[in-house]
Amino acid sequence: MKEKDRKTSPGYVFYGALAALAVVVLLTMAGWRYYIAAIERNQLDDLLNVREYKRHYVIIPEDCASPLWQDIYRSASAAAEEHDAYVELLGDWEAGDYTPLSYMDIAVAAQVDGIIIKPDGTAGMRRAIAKADEAGIPVITVIDDDTSSSRKSFVGFNNYQLGAAYGREILKCVDSSTRKITVLFKRGNLGNELIFQNLKTAVEDGLEEKGFREQQGKMPEIDSLTIEAQSTFDAEEVIRDRIIDLDTRPDILVCMNETDSESAYNAVVDYNLVGSIDIIGYYQSETILDAIEKGNVPVAITPDTEQMGRYSIEALEEYHTMGYTSSYMSVDLNVITRRNVGDYRDTQTEQGGES
């Protein structure tokens, strides 16, 4: 009877129920708090857990979205991290239709600690570089150099080096049926002429050595095509025109930037000319790497972007600590063929994973 009383005693049930209720409410509140805390952690990470740096550098790219610039930015960021500096990729202010020149002005106005830019060879750019210099902001040029500007250092490859490298690869593609070789340039690139001359000399010298003229009676025609980039899509159209027209269709098409390389490759695939037009590409974009892997593009030349980013930062750091830096830092030019394309694929995957 007593046992029964204990079991059914209203007091026990009552306090038990109250306790259960309290537990449920507390659990809900704890869950809610935890949830909110987790959200705050995730969403506000960039505002709350920021790291403060000593210096602020900017990279002003030609095109923010291009893989080349993304790669440079990535390696520069990694290098800057080591030197307690922050790198900003300045070039995607959606609101203003700004050119790299405008971004130069902005960077100077924002009083950053260093600028990395590819100069376009214009007087305006030189003035902007000079203005930065006056404001005590060191400017490092990459890919292209403007020796007449007051840049502190150039990180890249020289045009002789580039021309010779292209020449060597062209020679490997030339065969008895090669009649025409076209080299694509974009207006505004400094040293286009120099590269072209160097390239032409390298090819012709090589062919002479091989006795091409004796065998074929005639040397292949090497011409350059400078695309006047009036608007964004001009290059693509010009390349297609060139390929469609039988008179102007080259046997070897040499590209000097990554956009041209992809446009040319797409055109060749579209017109079913794979095999009859050899493209010598530039830079390790996904499309070009795929093409090399399939054998549709025999070779691509690519600068070592990792070196480019790292050396730029090192030059800036050197300038800030020593007051001077070497005016030229050479980066390697790599040749991607079907044999070594796997290595680039690997590094790209790694970098892609990091970013």
Partner 1 sequence: MFSIRTKLVMIFALMACLMFLVNILLYGEINRSMNELDQVYATNVSLSEMTECLEGIHGNILEYLSTKSSDSLEDYYRDVQQFQDMLEQLNGAVVDSERKILEKNIRNMSEKYLELAEETIQAKRGRNVEGYKAAFGEESKNYGYIRTAIYCLNSLQFRNNSENYQVLRESLNYMEMASFLVMALVVVINLLILFVLIRTITEPLRMLAVSSNQVAQGNFDIRLPDAPGRDEVGVVTDAFNKMVYSIREYIVRTRESMEKEQKMMERELLMETSLKDTQLRYLQAQINPHFLFNSLNAGAQLAVMEDAEKTSIFIEKMADFFRYNVRKGRESVTLAEEIETVDNYVYILNVRFSGDIHFEKEIEAGVEEARLPSMILQPVVENAVNHGLREAEWEGHIWLKIFRRENRIVVSVRDNGMGMTEERIQEVLSGRIRRDTEKDSTGIGLDNVIRRLELFYEEKGLVEIFSGGPGCGTEVRLLIPVHTEGGKDRSPDAEPAGTDVPEK
Residues that bind partner 1 (CB under 8 A): 10, 13-14, 17-18, 20-21, 24-25, 28-29, 31-33, 35-36, 39-40, 43-44, 46-47, 50-56, 85-86, 88, 93-96, 98, 102, 105-106, 109-112
10 Å Cβ neighbour count for 290? 14
Q: Which is nearer to partner 1, 39 or 244 (CB)?
A: 39
Return the amino acid letter for 42: N
Q: Which is nearer to partner 1, 44 or 244 (CB)?
A: 44
Q: Which is nearer to partner 1, 98 or 271 (CB)?
A: 98
Q: Which is nearer to partner 1, 51 or 339 (CB)?
A: 51
The C-alpha atoms of residue 312 and residue 292 are separated, in whole angstroms, by 30
The C-alpha atoms of residue 278 and residue 154 are separated, in whole angstroms, by 32
Q: Which is nearer to partner 1, 84 or 228 (CB)?
A: 84
Please count the CA atoms within 13 angstroms of the CA of 219 that sit on its side-chain side: 15
Helix (H) or strand (E) holding 1: none
Name the one residue in this structure whose structure tokens are 């990729």: 89
Q: How far is the CB of 348 from partner 1 (least distance, A)?
A: 24
Q: How far is the CB of 52 from partner 1 (least distance, A)?
A: 5
Q: How far is the CB of 98 from partner 1 (least distance, A)?
A: 8
Q: Which is nearer to partner 1, 109 or 244 (CB)?
A: 109
- What DSSP string describes 169-187? HHHHH--TT--EEEEEEET
The answer to whether residues 124 and 102 touch, using CB atoms and an 8 Å cutoff, is no
Q: How far is the CB of 137 from partner 1 (least distance, A)?
A: 11
Q: How far is the CB of 316 from partner 1 (least distance, A)?
A: 14
Q: Which is nearer to partner 1, 24 or 244 (CB)?
A: 24
Residue 29: burial class (beta carbons within 10 Å; 0-12, 13-18, 19+): exposed
Q: How far is the CB of 107 from partner 1 (least distance, A)?
A: 8
Q: How far is the CB of 141 from partner 1 (least distance, A)?
A: 22
The C-alpha atoms of residue 181 and residue 167 are separated, in whole angstroms, by 11
The C-alpha atoms of residue 101 and residue 105 are separated, in whole angstroms, by 7
